[in-house]
Structure 1
Amino acid sequence: MRHVVIIGNGIAGITAAREVRKGADDKITVISSETDHFFSRTALMYIYMGHMTYAHTKPYEDFFWAKNRIDLLRAHVNRIDFEQKKLTTDNGTVLTYDVLVLALGSKPNRPGSLGTSLRGVQGLYGKPDLDQMEQLTAEGIQKAVVVGGGLIGIELCEMLLSRHIPVSFLVREPSFWRSVLPEEESQLVTRHIRAHHVDLHLNTEVTELHDDGSGRVGAVTTKAGNRLDAQFVGVSVGVSANIDWLRNGPLDVDRGILVDEMLQTNLPDVYAIGDCVQHRNPPRSTNGAVRRPTEQIWYTGRIMGETLAKTLLGKPTVYNPGVFFNSAKFFDIEYQTYGDVPANLPDDGSLKTVYWEHPNGEIGMRINCRADSGAVTGMNALGIRQRQDVWTNWIEQSRPIQHVLEHLPQANFDPEFFRQHEATILAKFNAENPGMGVELKAKKGLFQRLFA
C-alpha cells in the first residue's frame, strides 16, 4: 500500500485526496497548519460580513475524512528529505511517503514599505488573516486604508464598509484594475466603487507607514506626500507561491515549483499542484490560446487535483484547464470573463472588439474576435449573467462574431423577467459595421438554447 502525503488542504490538495481515494486503497495523509478542515477560501469575506459562519464554508462534515480514510494532520512541515522520502513537522512528527504532493498555496506580497511588522498591517489570504482582521478591526479603529487594487483589494473595502469603517483605497493605476480590464470596464467599476462611498485614490503609491507610538500603524504617506490616518492597512498587491522555504534545495523552483505537463517536479514521486505551481511549458486552451505559467485561481487548483489523481491512479493525464474563465463581484456588479480579453488590443490589429454599455453606466459587455476570420476569442460581462458552457463552446469552436451575436440570448443566464439587452448590443455592432445586417435568431429559453 502506497502512502500518499499531501501538504496543503486547499482546493487542489483536497481534490487530489478525494479523487485518489475514489480509485485506490492507498494510505492518504493531508497536512495543513492553517485549519483542521478544508474550507472555501473564497468565502472569507462573507464570514466577516456576517453572511456566513465558518462552519458554512466547510463543504464536508467533519466526520467525512475519517469515514473516507483520509488522515488529517494539523502541523507545519519545516523540512523535507527528498532523498530519504521523509518529512518533519514543527511538532516533531516524522512521516515517510511513497508519493508527495505539494499543494502549498500562495502568500500575500509585502513589498517595500509594506513589508513592515507594525500591528494593523496585513493581507487577506487564509483563515488566520481573517481571524486577525476580526481582532484588529474590533479595537475601535477610526479609519482604514487598503493598498493595491485587484479582487482582494475591493473585497477588503467592502468588508470594512460593512462594519461602518471609513476606507481609503490606494490604487497605483489610472483606474481600477487597469492592468487587467480594458479602459471602459475599468472606468465602469471605478465609478461604481466611488458610488459606494470608497475614498478612491488613483495613481497613488504608499512610500511610508507610520508607527502610532505603540507599535501599531497610525498613518500612511503616499508618493505625492499626502498623509492619511489609518489604524488598519489592508495589503492587496498580489500573491506569490509559498515556496521560500524550499529554495536552495534539490527541488527546481522559480516563481513557483516547476512542473511538467503531468504536474511532476524534477524529483521522482514528487508532484506540485495549485497556486504554488509554475508550468515549464504552459498549457494551451483548445482554441490555441496559451495560459500563463502561474495562475492563482480556484478552479485551476481543482482541475490540477483531478488531473494528478488520474495519473496517480495509473492513467497518465496531461493538465488541460481549457478556455480561461474567471468571475468576481465588485460590490453590486457581477463580473465574468471567458477566453482572451487583454487590457489593451494588440498593436498589430489582429483583434477587433465590440463594446456595449448601458446608459446607467453599470452594465456592459465586450466581445473580442480575430480581425481576419471574425472568430470570437473572448468576452467580458459586467452586470449580465452568462452561461459558461455556451461561451466555452463558442470560443473552442471559433464561432464567428456574427453567429455569436445572432444567438446571444442562448448565453443569457439572468433570471426570468430581467431586462434583456441583446438587441441593443447587436444594434451597436450593426451601427459600427454597416452592411452586416446581423439579426437575432435565438430566443432565451432552455429549449431554444439546446436545439437552436
Structure 2
Amino acid sequence: MRHITILGNGIAGITAAREIRKKSDDRITVVSAETDHFFSRTALMYVYMGHLEFHHTKPYEDWFWAKNRIELVRAQVTSVEFDKKRLICSDGQTLSYDVLILAVGSKPNFFGWPGQQLRGVQGLYGKPDLDQMEASTKGIGQAVIVGGGLIGIELCEMLNSRGIQVSFLVREDSFWNSVLPAEESALVTRHIREHHIDIQTKTELAEMKGDDTGRVKSVITKDGTEIPAQFVGISVGVSPSIDFLKNTPLETDRGILVSPYLETNMADVYAIGDCVQHRTPPPGRKPVEQIWYTGRMMGETVARTILGNRTSYQPGVFFNSAKFFDIEYQTYGTVSNQLPDGEQSFYWEHLSGKIALRINYRETGGAVVGMNTFGIRQRQEVWQQWIVEGKDIRYVLEHLPQANFDPEFFRQYEPAIIAQFNAENPGRELKLKAKKGLFNLFKG
C-alpha cells in the first residue's frame, strides 16, 4: 500500500484525494496549514457579507474524512527533502510520502510599496485573510482597493455591503480593459459607479501612510493625491505560493513546472492547481491558469495517472464566469480586449446598459471562436460544442435559444439580437429558430 501525501487542501488537492480514494486502498494524507477542513474558497465573500456562515462553505461534513480514510494534518510545511521523500514542518515534525502531490495554491501579489506592512493592508485569498479582514474593518468608514481584477470587485462589493466608503484604484482607462473589449469594460465601469464605488481610473498606488499605532490611515497615488483609508485591499493578481520550494531540486519558474501529465522533474512528485506552470500549455490555454475549475480538473487528471491510467491534462475550451455586483458574466473560447487579425466581432447591448452579448468569429468561414455575455445566462455545454465544431456565426445566432439557461419566464433577448445583426447585414438576414416553449409574453 502506497502512502500518497497531498500538500494543500483546496479544490485541486481534495479532488485528487477523493478520486484516488474511490478506486484504491492507498493511504492518503492531506496536509494544510490554512484550515482543518476543505471549504469553498469562492464563497468567502458571502461569509463576510452575512449571506453564509463559514460552516456553510464546507461541502462535506466533518465526519466525511475519517469515514473515507483520508487523514487530515494541520501543519505548515517549510521544506521538502525530495531525496528522502519527506516533508519538514515548522513545528519540527516530519511527514513521509511515497507519492507527493503539490497543490499549494497561490498568494496575493505585493510589489514592495512603502507602507504595505501596515495593519489594515492585505489581500484576499484564503480563510486567514477573511479573518484578518473581519477584524481590520470593524468600525471603519473608508477603504481603498488597489487593482481592477476579479478579486478587486469582490472586495468592493464586500465592503460596500457594510456601508464602508470605497475608492477603487484602477490603472487602466476603465475596469479590466486589459481583458475585456472596450464596450464590456465601459459597461462594468458604469455599473460599479452606480453602486456608489469611487472608481478612479488611470490611477496607481505610490505608497501607504500609517498612524502612530502602525495602522494604515491613507494612500498616496502616483499623482500625489492622498485618499483617507483605514483598510487597503490589494488585488493586483496572485502568484504561485512556491517560495519554500525555490532552492530545491524541483524545477520552478513562475510556478512548478509540469509535463502534460502534471509530472514534475522529481520522481513520484506531481503538481496541480494554482501553483502549476505548464511547460507546454494545452491548446488555447496559458502556462499559468489560476481558476477554480482548472484546479478541479487537474485533481481528476492526476488521480487517473496515479491510479495507473496515465492521462494528460486536457481542459478543453476556455471558460470562466464572474459576478460584478448584480451582473453575471460568462465567457467561452477566446475573446481578447483587442480584436485579432482575421476575426470579426458582433456586439449587442440592451438599452439598459446592463445586458450584452459579444460573439467573435473568423472572417473566413465565419467559425465562432469565443463569446462574452453579461446578464444572460448561457449553457456551457452548448457554447463549447459550437466552438469545438466550428459552427459559423449565422448558425449560432439562429440557434441562440438552445444556449439560453435562464428560466422560461425570464425575458428573452434573442429577437432583439437577431434584429440588430440583420440591420447590420442587409441582404443576409437571419431567422431565429426558436426552441419550443422558450418564448413568452416577456420576450423583447
Distance apart, 1:90 and its partner CA: 1.5
SS of 1:30 mapped into structure 2: strand
Q: Which residue in the other structure is 1:299 paired with?
A: 293
Q: What is the rounded CA distance, in whole Å, between the counterparts of 2:266 and 2:220 in structure 1?
A: 46
Q: Which residue in the other structure is 2:200 paired with?
A: 201
Given the superposition, is the C-alpha separation of residues 293 and 411 from structure 1 closer, same or farther in structure 2, using an over 3 Å criterion?
same
Q: Which residue in the other structure is 1:12 paired with?
A: 12
Query: Which amino acid is the alignment partner of residue 344 of structure 2?
Result: K
Q: Which residue in the other structure is 1:317 paired with?
A: 311
Structure 1 counterpart of 2:335, from 316, 323, 341 = 341
Q: TM-score, normalised by structure 2?
A: 0.97
Distance apart, 1:435 and its partner CA: 1.8
Q: What is the rounded CA distance, in whole Å, between the counterparts of 1:114 and 1:179 in structure 2?
A: 26
- Mind listing any 5+ residue stretches in structure 1 that lack a counterpart? 285-289, 447-452
**CA deviation string 1:358-386 (max 9, x = no partner):** 00100000001011110001010000011
Q: Are residue 331 (structure 1) and residue 330 (structure 2) matched?
A: no
Given the superposition, is the C-alpha separation of residues 410 and 89 from structure 1 closer, same or farther in structure 2, using an over 3 Å criterion?
same
Q: What is the rounded CA distance, in whole Å, between the counterparts of 1:205 and 1:353 in structure 2?
A: 32
Map 1:437-448 to 2 at 5 A.
Answer: 437-443=429-435, 445=437
Structure 1 counterpart of 2:408, from 416, 419, 439 = 416
Given the superposition, is the C-alpha separation of residues 180 and 27 from structure 1 closer, same or farther in structure 2, using an over 3 Å criterion?
same
Map 1:50-449 to 2 at 5 A.
Answer: 50-113=50-113, 116-138=116-138, 140-284=139-283, 290-346=284-340, 348=341, 350-443=342-435, 445=437
**CA deviation string 1:167-213 (max 9, x = no partner):** 10000000000001110000000000000000110000010110112
Distance apart, 1:50 and its partner CA: 0.4
Q: CA RMSD in A?
A: 1.0
Q: What is the rounded CA distance, in whole Å, between the counterparts of 1:75 and 1:121 in structure 2?
A: 25
Q: What is the rounded CA distance, in whole Å, between the counterparts of 1:258 and 1:328 in structure 2?
A: 28
| Same amino acid, percent of matched pairs | 68
SS of 2:113 mapped into structure 1: helix
Q: Tell me whether 215-224 or 413-422 shows the greater mean CA deviation.
A: 413-422
Work out the number of aligned pairs and report it.
438
Distance apart, 1:444 and its partner CA: 5.7
Q: Which residue in the other structure is 1:287 paired with?
A: none
Q: What is the rounded CA distance, in whole Å, between the counterparts of 2:21 and 2:245 in structure 1?
A: 28
Distance apart, 1:114 and its partner CA: 6.3
Q: TM-score, normalised by structure 1?
A: 0.96
Whether the aligned pair in 1 keeps the contact of 2:115 and 2:207 (CA below 8 Å) is no
Q: What is the rounded CA distance, in whole Å, between the counterparts of 1:114 and 1:382 in structure 2?
A: 38
Whether the aligned pair in 2 keeps the contact of 1:252 and 1:266 (CA below 8 Å) is yes
- Mind listing any 5+ residue stretches in structure 2 that lack a counterpart? 439-444
SS of 2:134 mapped into structure 1: helix
SS of 1:399 mapped into structure 2: coil
Query: Which amino acid is the alignment partner of residue 24 of structure 2?
Result: A
Query: Which amino acid is the alignment partner of residue 404 of structure 1?
Result: V
Distance apart, 1:248 and its partner CA: 2.2
Q: What is the rounded CA distance, in whole Å, between the counterparts of 2:115 and 2:184 in structure 1?
A: 31
Given the superposition, is the C-alpha separation of residues 188 and 124 from structure 1 closer, same or farther in structure 2, using an over 3 Å criterion?
same
Whether the aligned pair in 2 keeps the contact of 1:114 and 1:235 (CA below 8 Å) is no
**CA deviation string 1:108-135 (max 9, x = no partner):** 0011316721000000000000000000
Whether the aligned pair in 2 keeps the contact of 1:410 and 1:445 (CA below 8 Å) is no
Query: Which amino acid is the alignment partner of residue 300 of structure 1?
Result: T
Q: What is the rounded CA distance, in whole Å, between the counterparts of 1:20 and 1:444 in structure 2?
A: 43
SS of 1:189 mapped into structure 2: helix
Query: Which amino acid is the alignment partner of residue 402 of structure 2?
Result: Q
